[in-house]
Amino acid sequence: MFNENPEPLPKPANREAMQYTSESVETLVEQFAQLPSVGRKTARRLAAYVLKMPRENVETLADALLSVKDEVLRCSVCQNVADRDPCDICRSGRRDHSTICVVEEPSDVQAIESTGEFRGVYHVLGGAISPLDGVGPDDLHVRSLARRVDPSFGQEDGRPAAAPEDAGDGAVGEPPPSEYEEAPSNGAAPTDSEEGRSSSEDAAGHAAPDERESVQEIILAVNPNVEGDTTAYYLQQMLEPMGVSVTRIARGLPIGGDLEYADEATLARALEGRGSV
């Protein structure tokens, strides 16, 4: 006879919890799962791969993770990640220091550098203005950007010229003097060749920081979304009164794209930013 009220079947065991019996492996999975864009399944695959790795490779990976936290710092000039302060781009005399490209994250610097087309310097904001997420201008490296254009920025309202976010080994925009000036170790007078060298160049032939040209152009390379547009508008309103040209990278159709599949906003931006052939 058909039973209208059968007894419920026992629930299966938690396969997720029983996949590994090692507490150490589960801890590693939990740490991998905290990484962005890494789910539980991907975290388990990574943990399984680590189990198969030779011990020396695991030690190298662990040392690399610790080195990132112990040795990597932020450049006091551009706020980019670097191994020394100022970074190699900011201290280079071969870069055009009159043009600053403003980006949101350090990864954006690498993306632009990979093109090989930009020879200026950078400034990393550390994000974008997003009121819905509680991120305002004071949460980004905006003041340090303004001081690179106008060193007196922030002094008229009684605030210190250097914010805590920009504190470093040297003054903002100026590498430590020891990097550019070296006294003769034996106290001897400089040779004729040394006297003939311009005071605006260091031993490597690079222009000294205090002789570099003032900032003439700010290129906004922020993301083309609502937060990026808000950030670009704020920076434009702040920087243009300082007498600097503020531009933004072009937006439109990608190379190899098809007009048929482009959305209306992208087509509108492409028409707006059209140029001569």
- Joined together, the tokens standing for residue 77 give 């000039």
Residues 27, 156 within the same domain: no
- Domain of residue 48, CATH code: 1.10.8.420
Amino acid making up residue 220? L
From residue 205, give the alpha-carbon distance in Å to each of 3, 27, 180, 201, 255: 94, 53, 10, 5, 39
Query: Rounded to whole angstroms, how far apart are CA atoms 203 and 180?
Result: 8
* Residues whose CB is less than 8 angstroms from the CB of residue 170 and which lie 6 or more positions away in sequence, other chains included: 76, 85, 86, 176, 177
Residues 38, 130 within the same domain: no
Give, as one character, the DSSP assignment of residue 53.
S
Give, as one character, the DSSP assignment of residue 127.
S
- Domain of residue 142, CATH code: 3.40.1360.10
Full domain range(s) for residue 218: 81-172+202-272
Whether 52 is covered by a domain: the verdict is yes
Number of domains into which the chain is organized: 2
Residues 49, 118 within the same domain: no
Residues 109, 243 within the same domain: yes
Residues 44, 137 within the same domain: no
How many alpha carbons lie under 13 Å from residue 177 in its C-beta half-sphere? 3
Residues 258, 160 within the same domain: yes
Whether pTM > 0.75 for this model: the answer is no
Residues 166, 101 within the same domain: yes
Residue-wise pLDDT tens for the chain (277 aa)?
555 665 665 555 554 544 557 889 999 999 999 999 999 999 999 999 999 999 999 999 999 999 998 888 999 999 999 999 899 999 999 999 999 999 999 999 999 999 999 999 999 999 999 999 999 999 999 999 999 999 888 765 544 444 444 433 333 333 334 343 333 444 444 444 444 443 344 434 444 344 346 899 999 999 999 999 999 999 999 999 999 999 999 888 888 888 888 888 888 888 888 888 8
